[in-house]
Amino acid sequence: MDKRQLGRSSLRVAPLCFGGNVFGWTADKETSFSLLDAFVAARFNFIDTADVYSRWAPGHEGGESEAIIGEWLASRKNRAKVVIATKVGSEMGPGMKGLAKARIREAVEASLRRLQTDYIDLYQSHYDDPETSVEETLETYSQLIGEGKVRVLGASNFTGERLEESLAASAKFGFARYETLQPEYNLCERERFEREFAPICAREEIGVIPYFSLAAGFLTGKYRSEADLQGRARAARAGRYLNERGYRILEALDAVAGELGATPAQVAIAWLMARPTIAAPIASATSLDQLEDLLRATQLTLPPEMIAKLDAASG
């Protein structure tokens, strides 16, 4: 199994990250446990979640995903075998938002309790907090690392300017720095990452763990017309790609998948894995069949001419 390093940190992960947003939401506890068991049995080790998952669902308060992962870790007694990433910064209730010292301190203890662990491998700023200085945030994180509660830091949904500001502050004051970036990046969403973030990540050796790797399911090929979107609560985002460019991307995916005996989803993930600076694309699954499809993507090697075909179609 290919192992990749998260930025300049010592954390090494398999080339695919399981997106834990589904745990406790579209995957109940029993299903979540079976998915996590299968993921680890296949020798993968990287699981991503956030304190806010799945606060958006009716009757949920946030923390549902972390709690299920925590129960699974406790029952399987395999904490040392997996890399757990979670996030702070999203709103968890009135006054419970952002990256100020008090909020981070409160949030990390809550995440540790739910995850039933005494350390978090990768702790990420979910969203930037323009009302808090990067120095305050990074100093707090550095203290948590010193206390053994956090191992490595990551950023998500930042601007390139704010990421640069954070890296400069770490260098100037000796704070721990962001070693990973979690941006939206896939065959349908290329322009912003490649223009704004890719040069920074390459220069600073930051590991990239992109979310929406399958463009909200569009790159699986299951949404090819407006009719395919009907009755699917999560399909609205995929609908934005039903245009000339989106159909061109699907045509290229179908062609490459046909040549390799693969699925469009596998090819889309393999394309990401072949990009410079990508440590591990994030993808979710709610069934064992879906998970198997994703894991097979890590066995694909796209020839240069097929990468060029996908680049041209999505450019």
Q: How far apart are CA 231 and CA 110, in angstroms?
A: 36
Give the model confidence (pLDDT) of 173-186 as tens digits.
999 999 999 999 99
By DSSP bridging, strand 120-125 and strand 150-156 are parallel
pLDDT at 237 over 90: no
**pLDDT score of 234:** 66
As a whole-number percent, the residues of the chain with pLDDT over 90 amount to 93
Q: What mean pLDDT value characterizes the chain?
A: 96
Domains of the chain, residue spans: 4-314
| Mean local confidence (pLDDT), 105-117 | 98
Q: Is 141 a catalytic residue?
A: no
Give the model confidence (pLDDT) of 195-224 as tens digits.
999 999 999 999 999 999 999 999 999 988
Q: Give the predicted TM-score (pTM) of the model.
A: 0.96
Q: How far apart are CA 13 and CA 15, in angstroms?
A: 6
**pLDDT score of 233:** 61
Q: Exactly one of 53, 185, 211, 241 is catalytic; which is it?
A: 53
The architecture in CATH of the region 4-314 reads: Alpha-Beta Barrel (3.20)
